[in-house]
Amino acid sequence: MKMRSTTPMRVAKIGYVIMSVVFCVVGILFMVWSDVSTVALGYALGGAMIVFGIIKMVGYFSKDLFRLAFQYDLELGIVLTVLGIIVLAKPFDVMNFIFIAMGIAILTDSLFKARIAYDAKRFGITVWWMILALAIISGVIGVMLTIRPWESARMLTVLLGISLLSDGVLNLCVAISTVKIIKNQYPDVIEADYCEMEDETK
């Protein structure tokens, strides 16, 4: 029987890890360089959202062994890609939209990751509690980013940086701990050839 190719899974996992690290780095930069211009902020986030959205969709269709990390990524990937396109289309006047959109996206992602943590516990993955803890932290920050408790653009940019850092760490933890790739993985549906046996008793 022909084995399933592991290339899509490897692409998805490597892309997931890389984009998680990128989110962490961008988050730290926003925290340190809080007076970044709106245009630069829009281009950076818009591009990152589109790339990560595409990677999430690839991950969904890659069908890794446990089916934990990518099980909700089709919808999230579409949402991230669409939001990224909107942000790139109008980077000059989408400041409020950026904070609300990122807050909702991060909150939604954290809710799905909390469910993944529950499923990971059932699979016997020992770090499920870390995924849950990071999901809760990321979700709280996502709510704060959505309701924007401060009006200062500098403070909001710092909060955005914190949210990107927390979400990046969360996705990195999920990708490393739950995405398992094995070389000898069979397709989900086993195809079998059937032949009719002639009735010899006549």
- Residue 200 falls inside a structural domain: no
- Residue 191 falls inside a structural domain: no
18-55 burial, b at 16+ Cβ within 10 Å, e below that, comes to ebbebbbebbeebbeebebeeeebbebbbebbbbbbbb
pLDDT given for residue 140 in this prediction: 92
Query: What is the span of the domain harbouring residue 119?
Result: 7-178
**What's the rounded Cα separation, in Å, for the pair 80 and 51?**
9
Tens digits of per-residue pLDDT, 112-133?
888 888 888 887 888 889 989 9
Token pair, residue 49, equals 């959202």
**What's the rounded Cα separation, in Å, for the pair 173 and 31?**
21
- Residue 62 falls inside a structural domain: yes
- Residue 201 falls inside a structural domain: no
pLDDT given for residue 68 in this prediction: 65
pLDDT given for residue 69 in this prediction: 63
Residue 180: partners with Cβ closer than 8 Å, 6 or more residues away: 64, 65, 66
Q: What is the pTM of this model?
A: 0.69
Phi-psi group of 182: left, alpha or beta (phi > 0 → left; psi -120 to 50 → alpha; rest → beta): beta
- Residue 33 falls inside a structural domain: yes
Q: How many domains does the chain have?
A: 1
- Residue 111 falls inside a structural domain: yes
Give 10-residue mean pLDDT values along the chain (202 residues): 61 82 86 75 82 83 64 80 83 70 85 86 85 91 82 79 88 79 51 43 46
- Residue 186 falls inside a structural domain: no
* Amino acid symbol at 120: A
Crossing angle of helices 153-178 and 128-147, in 10° steps, is 160
- Residue 91 falls inside a structural domain: yes
- Burial class of residue 131, CB neighbours in 10 A (0-12, 13-18, 19+): buried
